[in-house]
Structure 1
Amino acid sequence: MRPLKIILLTSAFNGLTQRAWLELRQAGHSPSVVLFTNENSVCEQIENSGADLVICPFLKDRVPQALWSNPERPVVIIHPGIVGDRGASALDWAITQEMTRWGVTALQAVEEMDAGPVWASCEFNLPPGLRKSELYNGRVSDAAIICIREVLEKFVDGFTPVALDYRDAKVRGRLQPNMKQADRSFAWHDCARFIKRCIDAADGQPGVLASLAGGQFYVYDAHLDSRSGRPGEIIAVHDDAVLVATGDHSVWIGTLRRKPQPGEETFKQPARHLLIDQLADVPTLDWSIARQPFSAEAYQPIRYRESGKVGELTFEFYNGAMSTEQCQRLLEALRLAKSRDTQVLLIKGGRSSFSNGVHLNVIQAAQDPGAEAWANIQAIDDVCAELLSARQWVVSGVTGNAGAGGVMLALAADIVFARADIVLNPHYKSMGLYGSEYWTYSLPRAVGPAMAEQLTQACLPVSALQALQLGMVQEIGPRCPDEFALWLLQRANAVVHDPVYAAVRERKARVDHVLVGQCRERELAEMRDDLLHDRNQFAEKCRSFVYKRKVCGTPVRLVADWARSVEVVS
């Protein structure tokens, strides 16, 4: 296939867009990103770029007529729905209606949204119990990449997309209205599974508006529990989550966003943080690993088990963000795991993400954000220090996408195993930070000083395959989360005697702990200026991230040389 100049027109450089960008580059094409700012600017950028094709992997705005009406340069929308499905709430309806099969469709942009002729489609089974973000970052993302590959092949072959025909029995999708809060609503008297499904369908955005503890909140991050009480009453607290009684059992709610007053902006925070004044008489339940290493509780943000010679520590924090308190809980769990009679310590993330480092929302909500950020950085540093000093072999299982300190947390292990097709962002600079988590030790150890400098300065995503080639990752496992979990445990049990890792064994034996400590000191000296003196506008960048501010242009690092006429921002 001849190399193509491809514009990725997107509302944000999100996980799917990053994966598409990496996929296109790996296939020999030259992708360039245009972030949707305003119609005139977007049209001017793309018209002047000389692109062969425009692909929209994540676009919340309507494609301007000046773009979709050009027959020489198709604009292809990647829609997260089966053929015939239309509307902005495709995944929300699929989860709500308990569809057993769903898909992704690549269709040409026309005047009517999602009504254009079809370039490609890919269907998949939709198991129950998935939250929207897990579905989007997993099966939808996989299907979208398959569709993009097919679009490129067909474009080069001169394919004419097929008009959508609702008379065709194979076209099962239909126009769906944008889901409103009335469509998502539940009563706490409803059964717990129904409530969880409502919340799962609104995961990420917009959440489900509900009454709780005398206030109105958008709720997220639901987990089933068997306890019961008076429906709507908060009956327990564990870590950052509150347990709310339902009509039959109960659900843990991990994250809330207060309903804003007119003219006000609010953002997601851990549920306990927002409700702290209403929880004085609510019992706190503690099944931390330090108290109960092998708890049978259904809801465990941090959990531990042992298999053969491996101690497996799983941490699953919402959106991969790790607050000061979460890091402190993980630190306690690590110390318990290190005290056990095991040869391998396997740390792994949840099904949807691994880690994205410090918790920017908790930092923004603090009375003194700079001080909270400073505490958060030192707490996550402490976690990394425990990994670097473990007597056991430490294996990181990177279960999902990771960014900034989350990547460096994984690299603090002796061996890193990654799930196929994840995306890593091993940099801090775009957030106005020098970086910590011992990155000046762990990253050069993995890829060499020159490449470490390049990765942290370029601020670009890295695919699992690239990470393997660079030395950040030692092996890549299956894409399916369940298959990866089994594979990971098997590989962790085998590494101790695997001759492939003899060099790692020698490296572990001669760790220079003085150098490790010096790296931390130097990093914290730099971070002190970033966090406490705000030398690189971290405070404003944190606010923009938390409040989801729209970008004013496309960062220059995402613009290919051939598209340099595109309006960019530094």
Structure 2
Amino acid sequence: MRILLIASSFNSLTQRVLVELRDRGHTVPVQVTPDGAAIRDAVSRHAPELIVAPMLKAVVPEDVWTAHRCLIVHPGPVGDRGPSSLDWAIRDGVTEWGVTVLQADEEMDAGDVWATAAFRVPEVGKSDLYRNELSDAAVSAVLLAVERVAAGYTPRPQAGGRIRARPALRQEQRRISWEEDGTETVLRTLRAADSQPGVRDELLGAEWFLHGGHAEDGLRGRPGELLATRAGAVCRATVDGAVWIPEIRARTGAGRPRACKLPATLALAGRLPDLPELPPPTRPSGRGRRTWSDIQYREQGPVGVLSFAFPGGAMSTDHCRRLLHAYRAACTRPTSVLVLGGRRDFFSNGIHLNVIEAAADPAAESWANINAMNDLVEAVLTTTDRVVVSAVGGNAAAGGVMLALAADEVWCRSGSVLNPHYRGMGLYGSEYWTYTLPRKVGTAMAARLIEEGRPVSAAASLGMGLVDRVVDCGPGEYTAEVTRLAARLASGPGVQSRIAAKKAEHERREPVTAHREQELSHMRRIFDDPAAPYHALRRAFTRKEAAGAPSTDARGAGAAVTAEC
């Protein structure tokens, strides 16, 4: 079928629906549509048999939905209506939610139902939930709806008694009362606003938007007081505990450029009181005591697991250096298999565009960041005394994909979407991609992936050799399943001979430093050229500004296109 996707942004769900439909043989053009006129134009140009809107803020014009079958993906169960469906669900603490595929109609979210799917709601942020459990459910519902369209199915109307329409969740309703709210209430409020729009709050004499929240049971203080810092985050007291807030964004007035979302300590630089910088916990927190760290290491017999979770998948210079330090420490342990990653949600999207944009000298920070990424990739690529597995639990893009490819094996969850290219940010690319990508998929396919700049599903990645294993499980089961598979790999009879062969091959092959030098020479010229498209594209992405005409064939999705839900 020829299916036109219309969306307000080429976000993670739009990409997921795109790759799943294409994998099943459908022809799927994409139109990012700011308004009804753009929708009309796209329909006129593509003459679709079916229109699907995975994430649409614009209203579909009546002349479009009356002339064409148009399916809307609503992030709520049957009868739920309104623009903040998922926000309300998390704020209210529901444990199960749903996705509904309904026909566009005169009333928003009121059309006949083509398919629906339920999903569990774990205690995670909205963007994590959106990219994972909701995305899995949405894809199941969309695929069923497409099958039903082909089969001549008659959709069913929504039952009047089950209708629940709720307005947009405004900042006034998202307010945290630090003098009254307990930790669980604060966490739900923060999670319901992550990654957008954040929770507006007052802190250190200014207004900010708070992004992300993690429980801390070991620290206490006066409610609202800042207690400590760790890895760029700040810890703030509640009435019965504390929460870690990894990122904040300054509130800017009308007519001023939108501020970038940054690691909290960086955004608050110059305002922070003298707070203790707490080291990361020595082991993952158990059920008895909760805390937070963006990098954790644990062992299970001969398997070491070095997991990391950076907001939005972006890795700043500091993130890269700290992860490299942790990687080198993990390599001193007596393990035969080292898993890099293994958490749910983002693996990595490469360099941290927000930190770069906010730097006094973005070109210099770009250079520092890309070299720090290269140092990390090189460490993985040159590890010879154990088998290294990259475990991609969610989406990955640009340098994040290349970081994964540096390992001996790449495993990803069945719901992952990979963007193995740099096209959307106007970059040549680095992180040894000219060595690792052709080695995995061949020279011709590597050139195609880089030039076309399209997202790739987990199944398609396996088929072309980009990944070595697809783990078919839910996002909540991924960590345990990867650990089990790694333990089986480590206990296999051939693991030691494989390590020996790996070391011998490393000694025989040509040094890979020439690839790094060649790639970085391209990158340096881009960074140092104020007129290079990279700078305008980076600013548009980080400041949420327009960046020219939208793509109509899904090309040009860039290094950080999946950094928002």
TM-score (norm 1): 0.92
1:295 CA displacement: 7.9
Determine the structure 1 residue equivalent to 2:172.
182
Determine the structure 2 residue equivalent to 1:282.
275
Determine the structure 2 residue equivalent to 1:87.
82
Q: 1:500 to 1:69 in 2, by over 3 A?
A: farther
Determine the structure 1 residue equivalent to 2:451.
457
Q: Which amino acid aligns with 1:224?
A: A
1:517 aligns with 2:520: no
Determine the structure 2 residue equivalent to 1:151.
145
1:370 aligns with 2:360: no
Deviation beyond 4 Å, 4+ runs, structure 1? 292-297, 496-505
Structure 2: gaps of 5 or more residues: 556-565
Determine the structure 2 residue equivalent to 1:254.
246
Q: Which amino acid aligns with 2:505?
A: R
Alignment of 1:472-511 (within 5 A): 472-496=466-490, 498=492, 506-507=501-502, 509-511=504-506
Other structure's SS at 2:351 match: coil
Once the two structures are superposed, residues 441-476 of structure 1 have per-residue CA deviations (whole angstroms, 9 ceiling, x without a partner) of 111111111111111111001111111111121111
Partners of 1:476 and 1:552 lie apart in 2 by: 36
Once the two structures are superposed, residues 313-360 of structure 1 have per-residue CA deviations (whole angstroms, 9 ceiling, x without a partner) of 011100100000111111111111111121111110532211000100
Partners of 1:401 and 1:424 within 8 A in 2: yes
Once the two structures are superposed, residues 76-111 of structure 1 have per-residue CA deviations (whole angstroms, 9 ceiling, x without a partner) of 100000101111000001111112221011111112
Other structure's SS at 1:115 match: coil
Determine the structure 2 residue equivalent to 1:194.
185
Partners of 1:287 and 1:295 within 8 A in 2: no
Q: Which amino acid aligns with 2:295?
A: I
Q: Which amino acid aligns with 1:261?
A: G
Partners of 1:123 and 1:453 lie apart in 2 by: 40
Partners of 1:11 and 1:59 within 8 A in 2: yes
Q: Which of residues 319, 344, 362 in structure 2 aligns to 1:326? A: 319
Determine the structure 1 residue equivalent to 2:560.
none
Alignment of 1:157-556 (within 5 A): 157-167=151-161, 171=162, 173-189=163-179, 190-226=181-217, 227-264=219-256, 265-287=258-280, 292=282, 298-348=291-341, 350-390=343-383, 391-496=385-490, 498=492, 506-507=501-502, 509-511=504-506, 514-534=510-530, 536-550=532-546, 552-555=548-551
Other structure's SS at 1:242 match: strand
Partners of 2:16 and 2:494 lie apart in 1 by: 30
Q: 1:103 to 1:295 in 2, by over 3 A?
A: closer
Partners of 2:37 and 2:414 lie apart in 1 by: 39
Q: Which of residues 29, 32, 56 in structure 2 aligns to 1:32? A: 29
Partners of 2:137 and 2:69 lie apart in 1 by: 20
Determine the structure 1 residue equivalent to 2:558.
none
Partners of 1:550 and 1:504 lie apart in 2 by: 50
1:430 CA displacement: 1.9
Q: Which amino acid aligns with 2:73?
A: I
1:370 CA displacement: 0.8
Partners of 1:548 and 1:498 lie apart in 2 by: 50
Partners of 1:508 and 1:44 lie apart in 2 by: 57
In the alignment of these two chains, the number of paired residues is 546
Partners of 1:439 and 1:207 lie apart in 2 by: 35
Once the two structures are superposed, residues 380-405 of structure 1 have per-residue CA deviations (whole angstroms, 9 ceiling, x without a partner) of 11111111122221111111100000
More displaced 10-residue stretch of structure 1: 136-145 or 362-371: 136-145
Determine the structure 1 residue equivalent to 2:58.
61
1:503 CA displacement: 7.3
Determine the structure 2 residue equivalent to 1:562.
none
Other structure's SS at 1:104 match: strand
Partners of 1:459 and 1:557 within 8 A in 2: no
1:506 CA displacement: 3.4
1:130 aligns with 2:127: no
Partners of 2:97 and 2:418 lie apart in 1 by: 27
Determine the structure 2 residue equivalent to 1:567.
none
1:260 CA displacement: 1.1
1:534 CA displacement: 4.9
TM-score (norm 2): 0.93
1:500 CA displacement: 8.5
Partners of 2:283 and 2:116 lie apart in 1 by: 46
Other structure's SS at 1:555 match: coil
